[in-house]
Structure 1
Amino acid sequence: MNPEPDAGRTAGADSVLGGGLVTGPAARAGAAGGRSARHPGATRAAGSDDTAGGRAAVSSAASRGRLVVAIALLDDTRRVLAARRTSPPAYAGMWEFPGGKVEPGESELAALARECREELDVEIEIGSFLGQADLASPGWRLRVWFGRILAGTPRAVEGGELRWLTVAELDDVSWLPADLPLVEAMRGRLLDPAPLTAGD
Structure 2
Amino acid sequence: MRRRWMGTLGLGTLALVPLLAACGSGESAAGAQEATAGKSWVVVANGSATPSPVVTGAKSTATPFPTGFLPLSSASPAPTPTGSLSCAPVKQNPINGATAVAGATSATVTWYHPGGGNLVDYRVTAISQDAMLGEQRDIGWTVVTPGEPCTFMSATVTGLDRDTRYTFSVDAVQTRPGFDGTYAKTVARTQVVSTTA
**Is TM more than 0.5 here?**
no
User: Normalising by the residue count of structure 2, what TM-score does the alignment of the two structures yield?
Assistant: 0.28
The structure, 1 or 2, with the larger RCO (C-alpha pairs under 8 Å, 6+ apart) is: 1
User: Normalising by the residue count of structure 1, what TM-score does the alignment of the two structures yield?
Assistant: 0.27
Q: Which has the larger radius of gyration?
A: 2
